[in-house]
Chain A
Amino acid sequence: MIRLDNLTKVFDTPKGAVTAADHISMEVPSGEICILLGPSGCGKTTTLKMINRIIRPTSGKVFINGEDTTSLDTQDLRRNIGYVIQQIGLFPNMTIEENITVVPKLLGWDKARYRERAREMMHMIALEPDAFLKRYPSELSGGQQQRIGVARALAADPPVMLMDEPFGAIDPINRAVIQDEFLKMQQDLKKTIMFVSHDIDEAIKMGDRIAIFRAGKLVQYSEPDELLAAPKNDFVESFLGEDRALKRLNLVKVRDLASEEIGLVRPDDTLDTALQRIESYGYVNSIVMVNHKRQPVGIITAAVARTTQGHCRDHYQSVPVVVSLDDDLRKVASLMFAHDMTWVPCVDDDGRIVGQVTQRAITHHLGSRYRAHSKEDDGAALGEASPSSATKE
């Protein structure tokens, strides 16, 4: 757990005092990723660097697992905090192996143990140990270097990690890959992580919590869905963008709003039955046909059911579009648009149909949170500028 208590940094510059971080108080529970997000110069890096005392706080305290870090030896503190700097910062005079094992060596691990650890780390970041350990940083691509930077920070297995735009220097495609790999690692490692970003999509994807900064102040600290649903003020709202409702789709899983109620037909049902069900369930185009295990085998279209007589088994078409319970709503919405559907069936791990997600359920879910929010402080909401006028400023 990381807790910041009124952490403040004032830089003395020739032009006067600059308050880079202004009484920041927040808490990151153990095992969670907290994203520090905000426009350039708002104090994210300063806040992060005060945690491992690269920058000395002007006032305020940092607690790690309940312990006041001012009482700890600075070098010990840093060796127990993984630190990924924005500029990667691999030591060019050391091999990849030496770079990765630098903290274990400082901590006095024996040679066999830290060499073994280097190989372990390489597997974790999906780079071939034999091919890379003896190379030098200048012989690696930017993306590979960035992974080594993460490996170096993780090598001594510190409980806490600080990461300053760790994936900033990578092209969007590789960034998405590394983000996914990192999230997968985090599921096992359960580190407590402070992560600086100025990319909202990255924040929503990676963060268990997001802290929005503005001019040295912490403006809002919420879970991503809460943040998108209920931005605290105009600044947060305009910073998140006008498509924040769509961004929320990433965060909601099919599991969260699937309804068990779904109309299906069996191969033995007649096309008449199929047509009745299409109408009674309000499906405009088609209905799914399942086998005896409730696995989808095809669809009966309304057009066929209306014009033809006979059994479903003789008249079904193509395998229907289905989504799994762990898919996010963004994928669902995308499929709905692509296939002109107002609903999609969802399946469990065995491919059995367990329910459906409808377009109405999605819009209702997104809308309900907004309504709940605007009711809470409707007086203030009326007085505030609308999002469109806020962005014009």
Chain B
Amino acid sequence: MELLQYFLDNLELLGTLTLEHISLVGVAVGIATLTGVPIGIAITKNERIAKTVLYIASIIVTIPSIALFGIMIPILSIIGHGIGYLPAVIAVLLYSQLPIIRNTYTAINNVDPALREAARGVGMSQNQRLRMVEIPLAVPVIMAGVRTAVVLNIGVMAIAAYIGAGGLGTLISRGISQSDPRQLILGAVAVSVLAIIVDYALLALQKRLTPKGMERAAAAT
């Protein structure tokens, strides 16, 4: 009851922090998509490079976020951004690479060789093949990677409050330092609910972006 009252009293703050959270993750994953998809496509050309890139991306994911923030403080201090917005976005950007690159790489690689041959046979150039056949067919799997990245990083971003990036993590960190369970619980619940809602929203988007003729095939998988 007390918690509900607290929730209602702080609705405005909650709204502001949620928007901040979404924009941090949105910007970071957005940039990550713009870099990860081309990288994922590029590495389909060479298996050895692909293995190396995917290996590096998975190592990055194993670095605990607190440690990553710690590493970035001295480096980014050089340009005066040791803490705050920039390191938070960079961390999310790095964590997002693995799901996005891996899904793009897998999806493009898994395009039916017969379709690839048909595309060559009708006289498409390499770019036309990508644009007209391979990427449209890969979109559902690429989108699934973006979803994973977003959900994963909504959690990571909560920790970024410790380096002053803002977002819903602020409630959690304040709750801990002020021994205020109401703030702590509200922050934690808000982060989880946000992750679930965004996941569903992106799933809907993924369905919209799936080429029409593939809906049946996509539903089967």
Contact = CB atoms under 8 A, between A and B. Distances in A.
Contacts of A40: none
A100 B118 CA distance: 12
A102 B122 contact: yes
B118 to A, nearest CB: 3
Query: Of residues B122, B128, B136, B211, which shows the largest number of chain A Cβ atoms within 10 Å of its Cβ?
Result: B122
Contact of A91 (B119, B120, B123, B217): B119
Interface string B122-133: 111100100011
A165 B132 CA distance: 26
A52 B133 CA distance: 20
Contact of A78 (B121, B132, B133, B213): B121
Contacts of B123: 75-79, 103, 106
Contacts of A61: none
Given A92-B214, A92-B217, A103 B122 contact: yes
B122 A106 contact: yes
Contact of B117 (A85, A92, A106): A85
Contacts of A221: none
A339 B207 CA distance: 65
A136 B211 CA distance: 10
A92 B117 CA distance: 14
Interface in A93-132: 93-95, 102-103, 106
Contacts of A94: 132, 211, 213
A83 B114 CA distance: 12
B133 A87 contact: no
Interface of B is mostly: helix
B213 A89 contact: no
Nearest to B124: A106
Contacts of A89: 112, 114-115, 117-118, 121
Contacts of A87: 112, 114
A160 to B, nearest CB: 13
A85 B211 contact: no
Contacts of B125: 75
A173 to B, nearest CB: 25
B134 to A, nearest CB: 10
B216 interface: yes
A137 interface: yes
A52 B123 CA distance: 9
Contacts of A93: 133, 136-137, 211-214
B92 to A, nearest CB: 31
A78 B117 contact: no
Interface residues of B, number: 23
Contacts of A79: 122-123
Contacts of B114: 85-89
Most B CB atoms within 10 A — which of A76, A86, A92, A102? A92
Interface in A275-311: none
Contact of A85 (B118, B124, B136): B118
Contacts of B115: 89, 91-92
Contacts of B132: 91, 94, 102
Contacts of A103: 122-123
A75 B124 contact: yes
A152 interface: yes
Contacts of A76: 123
A138 interface: yes
B128 A92 contact: no
Given A85-B114, A91-B133, A92-B217, A78 B120 contact: yes
A78 B114 CA distance: 16
B136 to A, nearest CB: 4
A92 B136 CA distance: 10
A351 B213 CA distance: 52
A54 B121 contact: yes
A83 B120 CA distance: 10
Contacts of A90: 118
Nearest to A53: B120
Interface in A186-212: none
Contacts of B118: 83, 85, 89-91
A92 B122 contact: no
Given A93-B212, A94-B211, 19 more contacts: A75-B124, A78-B121, A85-B121, A86-B114, A87-B114, A89-B118, A91-B115, A91-B133, A92-B213, A93-B213, A93-B214, A95-B213, A103-B123, A106-B124, A136-B214, A137-B213, A138-B213, A139-B213, A152-B122
Interface of B: 112, 114-115, 117-125, 128, 132-133, 136-137, 211-214, 216-217
20 contacts: A77-B123, A78-B123, A79-B123, A85-B114, A87-B112, A89-B112, A89-B121, A91-B118, A91-B119, A92-B115, A92-B211, A93-B137, A93-B212, A93-B213, A93-B214, A95-B212, A95-B213, A106-B124, A138-B214, A138-B216
